[in-house]
Structure 1
C-alpha cells in the first residue's frame, strides 16, 4: 500500500512541477513501473503505448501527457495564482513559484534531468525486453534534448537496448554522428558504423568540423588526440574483431593513412574468429606503406607459422630494399648534424639486424632473388649468409676473410664445414688474396696457431708464400710439426696398449678353458640337481657346473646354472688383470 501511495504522490508532485520530489517518490515505490513515465516523454501512439499500465491512482491527477504540456499547464496555473494573489485570494500553488516564477526552459531542463535520474535507476531493475528497449531509447532521447554528448556516447558504446530505428534519423539530423556510430557498433551494424567513422575522419581532416583536441573543457589523454585519430581508433576497434574480409580491406586504407600502427593492429588481430586471406591482404596493402607490408609478413611468418616460400621471399626482399634505401638516403644527405647521423645509423643497424636474423633463420626464401637485389651493394654479411644457404663455401670464405676481414667468423665457418681442407683453403686466401691486395700474414699465423695441429704439414708448407717472413710462422710451424709427431707417437702407444690388452685377454681365456675340474660321486648339476657321475658336463665362468642335457636345453640363454647372466652380471676375477 505504501508503494501505491508513493506513486500517487509522485504523480501529484509531477503535475505541480516539483520534479525532484516526484522522482524521489517514484524511486521509493516498488509498484511503480518505468513504462508509466513513457507518455510524459513521447506522445501516444508510439511503439511502447501498449506497455503503459492503466492505473488510476484514485484519479487524483490528470492523465499523462508530454512534459512540455505539463509545464505549460503548470505555468498557466502559476500565472492564474499570481492574479488571484493580487486580488487577495489564496491558492494552493507553491509559494516559491509565486515569489520567483521559473522560466519554461529551466523547468523543462529540471524535469528532463530528473526523469533521466529515474530511467537510469530503472536500468538496474529486472525489466522485460520491450520495457528495457523503451527505457534505453527514451534515455537517449532525453540525453539528446539536453545535448549531453558524453552521456549519449557512453550509453551508445556500452551494452544497451536502444531501438536503432527510433534513433538513427534523430541522431543523424541533430549531427550526433559519433553517438550514432557507437550505437551502430554496439548493435553489430559494423558497415554503417565504419562508414560514419570514415566520414568523421574526412571532415576532421578537411577542417569542416572543430577538432576535439581544441576543446578547452577536455583534459584527458584521449581528448588530446585529434578527432581524426579518434575516428581511426574507433574504426580499428571494430575491424579488429571483424572476419569480413571485404569490409576490413575496404576501410584499411583510410585508417592506414591516419596511423599505420592501427592498420597493422587490424591485420594482425587475434580477436577475430577466422583470419583474413593473406593473398587478399597483401594485394590490398598500398605499395607505399612498406612498414605495414613488412610487419604483416613478419606476423604471418613468425606468429602464424606460414611456410609459403613466396611470403618468405617477399619479406626478405622488402627488408633488403629498405636497407638499401636507408643506406642510400644516409649517403645522399651528408650535411646532417651528429644527432641525425646517429639516428640514421641506428635505423640502418636495426634494419640490417632484422634482415640478417631472418636470412639465417629461414630456409624457405629464394636466395638468388635476394642476391639480385643486393648485388651492387656493400651488404657483405648478408651476401655471405645467402651464399652459405646456396652452399657456395669458397665465396663465403672470401667474403668473411677478405671483404669483412673477420678471421674469427671465417674460422668458425670452417669449423661448421668440418673438413680440414676448409682451413687449408682459408690459409690460401690469407696468403694470396688476389686483386692486388697485400697478403694477410697476421691472420694466417692466427689460423695456424689455432688449428695448425690438425692440418697436414705438407699442405701447409705448399701453401706458404715465399714472401712470408719466417719469423712470423716459424714458432707456429715448429709447434705444428711437433704436434704431428706427438700425435703419431701417441697413436702408436695407444695401438700397442690395445694389442697388449687383447693378447692378455686371449691368454686369460685360454687359461680358463684349460683349467682342471675335479668331480666326486656327490657332485650334482647346479640346474637340475641330478648327480653327474660320468655324464658330460659344462662349466661356466662363475664355477657353476651343469649337465650337458641342461646345457643343451639352455642354448641361447646366457644364464649359468646359478642364474647369473653373463651379459648383465659382469664376472671379474683378480687373475684376469693385465699383468704383462
Structure 2
C-alpha cells in the first residue's frame, strides 16, 4: 500500500495564448478587514459575499507564451470552484520568462521578465499599464532571483550579460536592485544598489550558458550547461561545485543560442529535448537540490554537499521542493513524491498518475511549478502545488495529516505514521496527532502480542493512563472494572481482552502457521517496566487515575514475574496498594519483608515491626532472593536495621518505640545505640529500657550513652558507668571479654576513656571507684580518684614510687597550687617508707619550685642526715628571695600610706570650705531663690538646688549641670560633694 501525501485536486484551462511559462504566488492582503471579495473574470465584475478572511485568499500569477500575465485568486474555503481569474495584463509580445512577487509587510510589487526586459505590474486592477524598468545596468538581463534567506527584503538580484567592448568575451554581471516604494497603482520604482562582475574564466567560461540562479544572502549558486558554480558576494570568489556529464548531448546542441541564452538542447538524433529545471531550492532548510540526469544531490547555502541524495527513475521534467520535507518530481504521466529525510531506497512515498492526459516533453522547454501553504478550518497547514503546462494548470493538494496517519496505520506502517504526525507545524495539532497515532499503533500491536513495540508507542502518549490496560488482567483488576473509562481514539483497534485470551489466540494462530507468541512472563515484565515509568513521570501534585488499582496491579504483576527487588521498591515508596487484595499472596510467596514495607509506607509502623520481629523469631519465613531483603547480610542484622528505621520514623513516645526498642537493644547494640542518638529519648526512658535488657555484658555501652551522650547527672548512672568500665578493663586484661561485648575496644582505649571520665565527672561515688580500682594496675586512675577525695599523699606516692614518674608528681603539686603538696612530696623523698632517701630528687624539687615555699617549713622538713652542700645553693636563693620580697613590701606600704595622707588632707581642705547664703542667692539652673531649701555646691563653685542636682538621676550627681564637668573622674574630688 502506497502512502497518500498529495492528491490531484483539479485542473484549470487558460483562455489566452496557451503555453504556461512561469508561475508565482503570494497572499492577498486587505486593509479594510471586510469579508466581501470582488472577483473579475474577462473584465466582467461580479461580487461574492462570504465569511472568507483575507489571509485565506491567495494570489497566483501565470506567465504565458504570448506575453500576457494572468492573475488568479484562490480561496481555500469557498465551495465548488475555488480558482477565479482576477485580471489579465499584457506585458509585451515576447514570452514571459519569469514572474515574481516582492513583499514587504502588507505591501508588494509584482515583477515579470520578458525578452530581457524587467516589467513592474500594477498591484491591483486599476487598469494601469505595466512599467518597464529602465536602467543601463540591466542591459542584457536574462534572469532574476530573490534572496531566499530573507524573503521579506525589498531587494532583487538580476543576472546580465556584459562586455567591456564590442568583440570582447562577455561576462556575467550581478545587479542588485531595491524597490523604492510600494504605492498603489503600480508606481513602485527600482533603484540599482550595486553591480558586481564575475570574472572567473576557469569556473564560468565564455562558452557556458547560465540557466538558473539561487540566491542565499552572501552566496549565489549558478547552473550552467557545463557545471554548477558557487559565488561569494563578499569575497568575489567563484568555485566549481561539480561539472555536468555531457556525453549524451551533441555538439550542436551545446553551441546553440548565445552565451547566456535559454536555447533548447538537442539529443544525438537532432530531436529537441526539455531544458529541465536542474537547481531547486529548499527554502525552509536553506539548501538546494542539484540535479544531474536522474540523481539529485542536496547542498547547503555554500554549495557543500550535505550527504543527502535523491534518485529518480528517469530525468524529471520539473522538481519542486518548497514543501519540506516533501519533494515532488513531475514526469510525463505522473508526479512522484519523495521524503528527502529518508535514504535513497525509502525516499519515494507516493505516485500520483495523470488520468486522461500527460505532459509531452517534446512540446515545452520547461514545466513551471509553484506552491503555497494555506490553513484549513481545523488550523492545519495544507500545501497546494501548481504545475503549469501548455494551456493547463494542474493543482495538487496535500492530504490532511490525520488521514495520512490513518492510512499508515491501516498499512501497519506505525513508524511512518509517527513521522507524519511530527511534521505538523501546529503544536497542539501535532500533539493530537502524536497522541492518537501512538495510541492506535500501540493497541494494534497489543493485539499481535508485540508488547515491546506497543509500549514504546504508548510511552509517547502524554495523556495515556495505566488503567487503560486493566482489561488485560481482569483477575487482578475486578474491583475497578466499572470505573475504567475506555478511550476510543480513532476507533481503529478492537477493545482489549484479557492477556490469557490474547496468548491463547496467538498460540492457536502459531499452530496454524501464525506468528510466534511472546512468553507470558516477558509480556508482564514489559508492562511492569512501562507502568513504573508512567508512575515516575507523573508530576508533583498530579495523581494517576485509579492509582489504587494501578499500584495493586503492579504488586500482582511483580509477584508473577518474581521481581522481588522491584516489589520492595514499590512497597517502600509512596503507593496506594490495597493491602487486603495482596496480603494473602505476599504471605504465601514468602514476601514478608515486602508486606512490612507496604504497611510502613501506608502508616502502619506497628504492624510492620510485628512482621519483622516475627520473621526474626522464626514465626514467619522469607524466601531469599538475590538483590532483595537478605542479600549480603544475616536475618538478624537486616531485621535490626529495618526496626531501627521504623522506630526512628515513629519517634519517642510512639507505641512502636516503647514496644520494640527494648527488643532491639537485646539483639543489636550498635544499631540500638545509633538509634538512641537519633531519636533523643529522655534519660529516664532510656535507663528503663537499659534495665529491661537481658544482655548485661553490654550494659556499659548503654551507660556510656546515657552519661556521655545524653548528659545524665544522676550519681547512680555515673557510678555504674565507672564500675562497668573497670570491669570491662579487667575482662580485656584477662582475655575473657567477647568482641561484641567490648564493642571492639582495646584495653588502652578503655583506660583513656576511664581516665577522662574520672577526671571530668563530679557525680560518681569515689569510694566505690577506689574500691573497684584497688588490686588493679590502673595506677593513674587511682591517682585521679585520690586527688578528688583529697588523699594527695597516696596520689603522690603512686606517681613517685609506684609509677616512678617524678615529673608527674611535680605537675600534680602545681595543680594543687599550695605548699602542702610540695612539702608532702619533699617529705616523701627525704623519708621514704622503704629504701634510701632520694636527695637528688628532693634538690630538683626545691630548685624548681622551692622559691615559693616557706623556708622555715623547708628547713623543718630537711633531714639531719642530708648533706648541706647539696641544699646550700637552694636555701641561699630562698633566703635572698624572702628578703627581697619583705623589702619590696615595705616600700609599697610606705607609698600607699603617703598617698592616703595626701588624699585625706585634700578632703579636709575641701570639707572646711563654707558657703555663705543670702536671700538673693539663686540656683544657677532654674534661677529660683534657694532660701531655706537644700542645695548642692560643685567644686567649680556652681550652686544649684537639690532638685536640679538630682534631675539627671543619682548616678549623674557628680556632673555639673551648667558646665557638664564630671568630677567623679577627677582624682580627689569624688568625696567632696
Tell me if structure 2 keeps the 8 A contact 1:202–1:228. no
Match of 2:673 in 1: 264
Question: Which residue of the other structure, out of 691, 708, 711, is the alignment partner of 1:305?
Answer: 711
Match of 2:508 in 1: 76
Tell me if structure 2 keeps the 8 A contact 1:194–1:251. no
Query: How far is the alpha carbon of 1:417 from its aligned partner?
Result: 4.0
Match of 2:645 in 1: 237
Query: How far is the alpha carbon of 1:496 from its aligned partner?
Result: 2.6
Match of 1:460 in 2: 858
Match of 1:576 in 2: none
1:18/1:49 CA distance change after superposition, 3 Å: same
Tell me if structure 1 keeps the 8 A contact 2:467–2:549. yes
| Partner-residue secondary structure (3-state), 1:143 | helix
- What do residues 97-116 of structure 1 show as CA deviations (whole Å, max 9, x unaligned)? 2xxx34xxx33234223322
| Partner-residue secondary structure (3-state), 2:847 | helix
Question: Which residue of the other structure, out of 654, 670, 692, is the alignment partner of 1:284?
Answer: 692
Q: In structure 2, how many angstroms separate the alpha carbons of the residues matched to 1:304 and 1:184?
A: 32
Q: In structure 2, how many angstroms separate the alpha carbons of the residues matched to 1:168 and 1:503?
A: 101
Task: Specify which structure has the higher proportion of strand.
Answer: 2
Question: Which residue of the other structure, out of 495, 503, 512, is the alignment partner of 2:893?
Answer: 495
Question: Which residue of the other structure, out of 568, 576, 579, is the alignment partner of 2:968?
Answer: 568
1:512-531 superposed matches below 5 A: 527=924
Q: In structure 2, how many angstroms separate the alpha carbons of the residues matched to 1:172 and 1:560?
A: 94
Task: Specify which structure has the higher proportion of helix.
Answer: 1
- What do residues 26-83 of structure 1 show as CA deviations (whole Å, max 9, x unaligned)? 3444564322211212338722223222566787666543212211022223434x3x
1:118/1:416 CA distance change after superposition, 3 Å: closer
Query: How far is the alpha carbon of 1:511 from its aligned partner?
Result: 7.7
Q: In structure 2, how many angstroms separate the alpha carbons of the residues matched to 1:407 and 1:18?
A: 90
Query: How far is the alpha carbon of 1:210 from its aligned partner?
Result: 9.3
Match of 1:366 in 2: 765
Which structure would you say has the larger Rg? 2
Q: In structure 1, how many angstroms separate the alpha carbons of the residues matched to 2:561 and 2:636?
A: 26
Query: How far is the alpha carbon of 1:301 from its aligned partner?
Result: 2.4
- What do residues 430-470 of structure 1 show as CA deviations (whole Å, max 9, x unaligned)? 22232x24323233223322332332222211111122232
1:50-69 superposed matches below 5 A: 50-53=482-485, 63-69=495-501
| Partner-residue secondary structure (3-state), 1:65 | coil
Unmatched 5+ residue regions in structure 1? 83-92, 333-345, 532-536, 574-580
Q: In structure 1, how many angstroms separate the alpha carbons of the residues matched to 2:490 and 2:937?
A: 122
Match of 2:206 in 1: none
1:307-346 superposed matches below 5 A: 307-329=713-735
RMSD between aligned alpha carbons?
4.3
Tell me if structure 1 keeps the 8 A contact 2:722–2:764. yes
Tell me if structure 2 keeps the 8 A contact 1:39–1:65. yes
Question: Which residue of the other structure, out of 560, 572, 577, is the alignment partner of 1:162?
Answer: 577
1:358-397 superposed matches below 5 A: 358-397=757-796
Match of 1:470 in 2: 868
Equivalenced residue count is: 510
- What do residues 190-239 of structure 1 show as CA deviations (whole Å, max 9, x unaligned)? 44544554566678xxxx99977xx6xx7x9x955456544443343334
Q: In structure 2, how many angstroms separate the alpha carbons of the residues matched to 1:371 and 1:411?
A: 23
Tell me if structure 2 keeps the 8 A contact 1:201–1:229. no
| Partner-residue secondary structure (3-state), 2:679 | coil
1:501/1:194 CA distance change after superposition, 3 Å: closer
Q: In structure 1, how many angstroms separate the alpha carbons of the residues matched to 2:880 and 2:492?
A: 123
Determine whether 1:37 maps to 2:469. Answer: yes
1:67/1:565 CA distance change after superposition, 3 Å: same
Q: Which moved more, 1:178-187 or 1:363-372?
A: 178-187
Tell me if structure 1 keeps the 8 A contact 2:613–2:639. yes
Tell me if structure 1 keeps the 8 A contact 2:843–2:870. yes
Q: TM-score, normalised by structure 2?
A: 0.46
1:374/1:511 CA distance change after superposition, 3 Å: closer
Tell me if structure 2 keeps the 8 A contact 1:397–1:410. yes
1:87-486 superposed matches below 5 A: 97=515, 101-102=516-517, 106-123=518-535, 124-125=537-538, 131-194=546-609, 196-198=611-613, 224-225=632-633, 229-242=637-650, 243=654, 244-254=657-667, 256=668, 260-270=669-679, 277-290=685-698, 293-329=699-735, 347-434=746-833, 436-486=834-884
Q: In structure 2, how many angstroms separate the alpha carbons of the residues matched to 1:117 and 1:511?
A: 106
Tell me if structure 1 keeps the 8 A contact 2:476–2:556. no
Unmatched 5+ residue regions in structure 2? 1-431, 738-744, 930-934
Match of 1:87 in 2: none
Q: In structure 1, how many angstroms separate the alpha carbons of the residues matched to 2:949 and 2:716?
A: 65
- What do residues 163-198 of structure 1 show as CA deviations (whole Å, max 9, x unaligned)? 222222212222334433433333344445445545
Q: Which moved more, 1:414-423 or 1:458-467?
A: 414-423
Match of 2:444 in 1: 12
